[in-house]
């Protein structure tokens, strides 16, 4: 069954490393990552508020295209708030409705099934990375042009807005990835 993985974790927690390892070992897995799109325009990481709405649109379109081609997709983002996760889950639901018709039940998307299908239409797995004090330190090694103070400010802000993941948001399953020793 086609599967979408949403990563969820603070900067430096290992989301992209996990995603790349999974995509390397499984040829049917592909990654969508806004950070990679932000890098595309300059060859190095470049955050431009003017381009941000386009980056979001592009990431969602790439998700659709990969699902159309039959890939399992990792949406490699921080995905720390319910709102952000809901936007992606809603996009997946729309894709399912286009592919399988409007016969959807009222179930959350990860448990969605269609009248003629014995199994759920798609699996949506949240891959959660718990907070760890080493993450900020790791992020500093590839600082994307930000000072340590700036990273600390960004990460502290994100910690405040972080909302715990729950199955009723629409996930089929939640898996937890803990940091291994450096």
Ligand X SMILES: Nc1ncnc2c1ncn2[C@@H]1O[C@H](COP(=O)(O)OP(=O)(O)OP(=O)(O)O)[C@@H](O)[C@H]1O
Q: Site residues (CB under 5 A) for Mg ion?
A: 15-16
Q: By CB under 6 A, is residue 12 in contact with ligand X?
A: yes
Residue 158's nearest CA partner among 91, 78, 89 is 78
Residue 72's nearest CA partner among 2, 127, 15, 22 is 2
Distance of alpha carbon 72 from alpha carbon 160, whole angstroms: 31
Distance of alpha carbon 167 from alpha carbon 109, whole angstroms: 11
Q: 161 to 180, contacts with ligand X by CB under 6 A?
A: 179-180
Q: By CB under 6 A, is residue 79 in contact with ligand X?
A: no
Site string for ligand X, 14-33 (x = CB under 6 A): xxxx----------------
For residues 114 and 100, the answer to whether their CB atoms sit within 8 Å is yes
Closest CB 60 distance from ligand X, rounded Å = 18
What value, to the nearest 5°, has the Cα angle with vertex 40 and ends 145 and 83?
A: 80
110 — phi, psi (to 5°)? -70, -15
Closest CB 9 distance from ligand X, rounded Å = 6
Q: Which stretch binds ligand X (CB under 6 A): 83-91, 105-113, 114-122, 138-146?
A: 138-146
Q: Which stretch binds ligand X (CB under 6 A): 84-92, 116-124, 134-142, 153-161?
A: 134-142
Instruction: Kindly tell me which residue out of 37, 138, 146, 174 binds ligand X, with binding defined by CB under 6 A.
Output: 138
Binding stretches for ligand X (CB under 6 A)? 9, 11-17, 35, 78, 138-139, 141-142, 179-180, 182
């Amino acid at each position: 069954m086609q599967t979408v993985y949403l990563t969820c974790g603070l900067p430096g927690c290992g989301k992209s490393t996990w995603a790349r390892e999974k995509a390397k070992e499984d040829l049917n897995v592909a990654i969508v990552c806004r950070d990679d799109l932000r890098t595309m325009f300059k060859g190095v990481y470049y955050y431009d508020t003017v381009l941000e709405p386009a980056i979001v649109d592009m990431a969602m379109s790439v998700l659709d295209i990969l699902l159309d081609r039959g890939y399992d997709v990792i949406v490699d983002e921080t995905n720390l708030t319910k709102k952000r996760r809901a936007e992606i889950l809603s996009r997946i639901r729309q894709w399912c409705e286009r592919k399988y018709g409007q016969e959807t039940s009222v179930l959350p998307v990860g448990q969605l099934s269609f009248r003629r299908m014995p199994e759920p239409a798609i699996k949506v797995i949240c891959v959660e990375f718990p907070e760890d004090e080493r993450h900020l330190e790791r992020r500093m090694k590839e600082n994307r042009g930000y000072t340590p103070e700036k990273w600390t400010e960004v990460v502290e802000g994100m910690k405040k807005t972080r909302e715990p993941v729950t199955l009723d948001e629409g996930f089929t399953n939640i898996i937890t990835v803990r940091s291994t020793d450096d």
